[in-house]
Amino acid sequence: MYEILTNIFNSEIIAILIAAFLPLFLFILPFALFAVYLERKVSAFMQDRLGPMRTGPYGVLQTVADILKLIQKEDIINKDADKKLFNLAPVLVFAGSYAAFAAIPFTSIYIGTSADIGLFFILAISSLVVAGILMSGWASNNKYSLLGAMRSAAQIISYEIPTALVILSVVMITGTLSLNTMSEIQTAYFWNWTIFGGAEWGIQKILLIPFMIVAFVIFYISSLAEVNRTPFDIPEAESELVAGYHTEYSGMKFAIFFLAEYANMFAVSAIAASIFFGGYQSPFGYFGNLIGLEWLIPLEQLFWFTMKGLFFVFVQMWLRWTLPRLRVDQLMTVCWKYLIPYAFVNLIIIGLISLI
């Protein structure tokens, strides 16, 4: 009897794990392949060239070929490296990035967890990425890797402060830390989005609009630093640090770092869409309601959520090929002298408007 119950319990756990985690992984992996191809084409367009064109029609299979090459490459480990930490670091970085998707609602019916503290969970679990990056820099026994890891940890920890202040601003308006509830509050028309003062009409909504726009700009700048994107990509500054904290990594371990970076890009874009731009809600209402087919609504929600996320990912790529890289002192100046004070003052003003 004990063995039967154990088997049933284990099978239920496996079924839950597959249902909860496999769809997310099947989304992240194709997204990373598409995003790498998109970034190559966006950079090529901005530099007046073609980009990859040889592998597949218009180069669409170039990224697939690169992944296959990485999988087949020899896994080389520096003889003086700390092998256990060296092997664990990329797994930890990807785990932190992957776990953040658990609280992101793709539709009203598909969300890993509808916990009331979803935003708090994301802020907490993303700290695993910092630990993994520090671990990779230290375990590599390479001065360039260590410098890149130290830069990255200082950068991510610093920019978490304005991010948290902006999230507090949004929480004061919506009254929840759940991304699912935030999406439901903003309803299916763009004028009810948080960026436009929320769903409550009145003088408060009008007064909130400029301060919510400021909050979004601060959040988006901070998110660029959180995922080490230009102009905040000093942890991987090729002209100074070779490849930063993953200099010594090759093959599949390097591919895991690469996958985590693009997963992070979509994660922060999805969070921005959820807390400011209606999440999975349509900006114009639902076609399924008009024709009486309510089962279409979750598919429409998935479409709108993905499009919003991809738009902000595109903006990240756009900025990469437009702005120069900041120096270390400039990066810290932007955070501590500008973003944090502005975010704090913005938080107080939004609080006063909400209270009065």
**SS3 of 132-195:** HHHHHHHHCCCHHHHHHHHHHHHHHHHHHHHHHHHHHHHHHHHCCCCHHHHHHHHCCEHHHCHH
Q: Rounded distance, CA 172 to CA 186, Å? A: 14
pLDDT tens per residue across span 306-343: 999 999 999 998 988 888 888 888 888 999 899 999 99
Name the pTM for this structure: 0.88
Residue spans of the domains in the chain: they are 1-72, 78-355
The SS3 of residue 194 is helix
- Per residue in 205-234, pLDDT tens? 788 889 999 999 999 999 898 888 878 887
pLDDT per residue as tens digits for the range 269-288:
999 999 999 888 888 878 77
Q: Which residues of 245-271 are buried (b: 16+ CB within 10 A; e: fewer)?
A: bbbbbeeebbbbbbbbbbbbbbbbbbb
Quick one: pLDDT band at residue 93, thresholds 50, 70, 90? Answer: confident
Task: Round to whole Å and give the CA distance between 22 and 27.
Answer: 9
pLDDT digits (tens, 9 = 90+) for 225-261: 888 887 888 777 777 777 777 888 888 888 888 888 8
What is the distance of C-alpha 23 from the center of its chain? Answer: 17
CA angle 240, 245, 250 (to 5 degrees): 110
Percent of the chain with pLDDT over 70: 93
Residue type, position 181, single letter: T
Q: Is the pLDDT of residue 92 over 90?
A: no
User: What rounded mean pLDDT belongs to the chain?
Assistant: 83
